[in-house]
Amino acid sequence: MKIKNWGRNLVFKPDQIIYPKTEQEIIQLVKKAGAANKKIRVIGTGHSWTPLVTTDDILVSMNNYQGIIEVDSISQTALVKAGTKLKLLGELLFKERLAMENLGDIDEQSIAGAISTGTHGTGIIFGTISTQIIEMSFINGKGEKITCSPKNNPAIFRAAQISLGALGIITEIRLRLVPAYNLKYEMRKGNLEETLNKLNIYKTENRNFEFYWFPHTMAVQLKFLNQVEEHPRNVGFAKTFNDVVVENGIFGLLSRISRAFPAFAPRISKICGAAISNNIFVNHSHLIFATKRLVKFYEMEYNIPAENFEAVIKEMVFSINANKYRVHFPVECRFVRGDDITISPANGRDSAYIAIHMYKGMEYERYFQAMEKIFRKYGGRPHYGKMNYFGKKDFEAAYPGWGEFMGIRQEMDPGGVFLNPYLRSILV
Ligand X SMILES: Cc1cc2nc3c(=O)[nH]c(=O)nc-3n(C[C@H](O)[C@H](O)[C@H](O)COP(=O)(O)OP(=O)(O)OC[C@H]3O[C@@H](n4cnc5c(N)ncnc54)[C@H](O)[C@@H]3O)c2cc1C
Position 62 contacts ligand X (CB under 6 A): yes
Please choose, out of 88-96, 99-107, 341-349, 401-409, the segment that lies near ligand X by the rule CB under 6 A: 99-107
The number of helices, as runs of H, and strands, as runs of E, in the chain is 15, 20
End-to-end CA distance of the chain: 29
Vertex 237: Cα angle to 233 and 240 (nearest 5): 100
φ and ψ at 336, to 5 degrees?
-140, 145
Contact between 131 and ligand X by CB under 6 A: the answer reads no
Q: Do residues 130 and 118 make contact, with C-beta atoms less than 8 angstroms apart?
A: yes
Q: How far is the CB of 318 from ligand X (least distance, A)?
A: 27
Least Å distance between CB 220 and ligand X?
18
Q: Is 337 one of the binding residues for ligand X (CB under 6 A)?
A: no
**123: DSSP letter:** B
Q: Is residue 146 a contact partner of residue 136, using CB atoms and an 8 Å limit?
A: no
Element containing residue 19 per DSSP (H, E): none
Q: How far is Cα 21 from Cα 63, in angstroms, rounded to an integer?
A: 9
- Which residues have a Cβ under 8 Å from the Cβ of 406 and sit 6 or more positions away? 427, 428
41 binds ligand X (CB under 6 A): yes
Q: Which one of 14, 90, 113, 127 is in contact with ligand X (CB under 6 A)?
A: 113
The 278-317 site mask, x for binding ligand X (CB under 6 A), equals ---------------x------------------------
CA distance 66 to 158: 24
Tell me which of 30, 55, 105, 172 binds ligand X, using CB under 6 A.
Answer: 105
The answer to whether 169 contacts ligand X (rule: CB under 6 A) is yes
117 contributes a contact to ligand X by CB under 6 A: yes
Q: Which of 106, 219, 346, 427 binds ligand X (CB under 6 A)?
A: 106
Which residue, 92 or 170, has its beta carbon nearer to ligand X?
170
Q: Which of 120, 203, 284, 328 binds ligand X (CB under 6 A)?
A: 120
CB of 139 to ligand X, least distance (A): 9
**Rg from Cα positions in the chain:** 21
Q: Decide: is 376 part of the binding site for ligand X (CB under 6 A).
A: no
Which range binds ligand X by CB under 6 A, 14-22, 38-46, 264-272, 365-373? 38-46
**Neighbour-count burial of 71, counting CB atoms closer than 10 A to its CB (0-12 exposed, 13-18 middle, 19+ buried):** buried
Q: Which is nearer to ligand X, 255 or 266 (CB)?
A: 255
What SS3 state is found at 68? Answer: strand
**Interface with ligand X (CB under 6 A):** 6, 41-48, 52-53, 62, 82, 104-106, 109-110, 112-114, 116-117, 119-120, 164-165, 169-170, 293, 383, 385
